[in-house]
Amino acid sequence: MLLQLRQAVLDANLELNRRGVVLYTWGNVSGIDREAGLIAIKPSGVDYAAMTVDDIVIVNLDNEVVWGEKKPSSDTRTHTALYRAFPQIGGVAHTHSTHAVAWAQARRAIPCLGTTQADYCAGEVPCTAPLPPEEVRRDYETATGDAIIRRFQALDPAAVPMVLVAGHGPFSWGTDADDAVRNAVILEEAARMATLTVTIAGRDPEPLEDYVLDYHYERKHGPNAWYGQGKK
């Protein structure tokens, strides 16, 4: 079932490992077939080195397994919450990458301090509020998705394809599983750069000027984007 999607999701999970933003079985990637309403996602607790395309699990948007012999990722309900809330996304990635987690543990958004971040995120990387205790007790993974959704009530998830969950870590998304992984890797590098910048400055630096931020974001992602070679 959905072999092409399962292969794409396997490749995306392995790319997380190759890029060094996950350790052991930490992290997970999923992709969705919107027409079918089905999601391919990493199995829970399976080492990246041992994972095959037949280990990838298919679930529906109600978190029911419809194909596969393994348990899906423990974060599945967070993924499905994001797919339901953000219909424009096609892939979700979650890691515990070092610098992004450090900012999440500090309960701090990553300010946009320079053009590198502006090229991929239209402003700061937001951080959610801590989860209420009753939501954690009721359904922690869905509550994690709900916290992200609440934080994005006034934000465009296409323009800001990444977030920090307070005390937990980063989630990112994109047009497909591969794009979600790319944004996860970029988020970790942006977090590392921000950490170094704050350390060198010895204080919280001024954010990048809005007009520079807008220029860099629009040249890659705006309606008249001109970065790269374009389509022939």
Provide the CATH number for the domain around residue 206. Answer: 3.40.225.10
The rounded distance, in Å, linking the Cα atoms of 144 and 81 is 9
Domain total for the chain?
1
Let me know if residue 232 belongs to a domain. Answer: no
The rounded distance, in Å, linking the Cα atoms of 133 and 143 is 10
Catalytic residues: 119, 227
Let me know if residue 59 belongs to a domain. Answer: yes
pLDDT of residue 45: 95
Let me know if residue 227 belongs to a domain. Answer: no
Let me know if residue 89 belongs to a domain. Answer: yes
Q: Are 156 and 122 in contact (CB under 8 A)?
A: yes
Mean of pLDDT over the chain:
97
Check whether 231 has a pLDDT greater than 80.
Answer: no
Band of pLDDT at residue 230, cut at 50, 70 and 90 = confident
Kindly state the tokens that stand for 197.
């910048």
Per-residue pLDDT of 129-155, as tens digits, reads 999 999 999 999 999 999 999 999 999
The rounded distance, in Å, linking the Cα atoms of 199 and 195 is 6
Per-residue pLDDT of 147-196, as tens digits, reads 999 999 999 999 999 999 999 999 999 999 999 999 999 999 999 999 99
Let me know if residue 231 belongs to a domain. Answer: no
Let me know if residue 10 belongs to a domain. Answer: yes
Q: Map residue 139 onto helix, strand or coil.
A: helix
Q: State which residues form the domain around 117.
A: 3-221
Residue 210 CB burial class (10 angstroms; 0-12, 13-18, ≥19) = exposed
Has this prediction a pTM greater than 0.85?
A: yes
Q: What is the mean pLDDT of residues 104-115?
A: 98
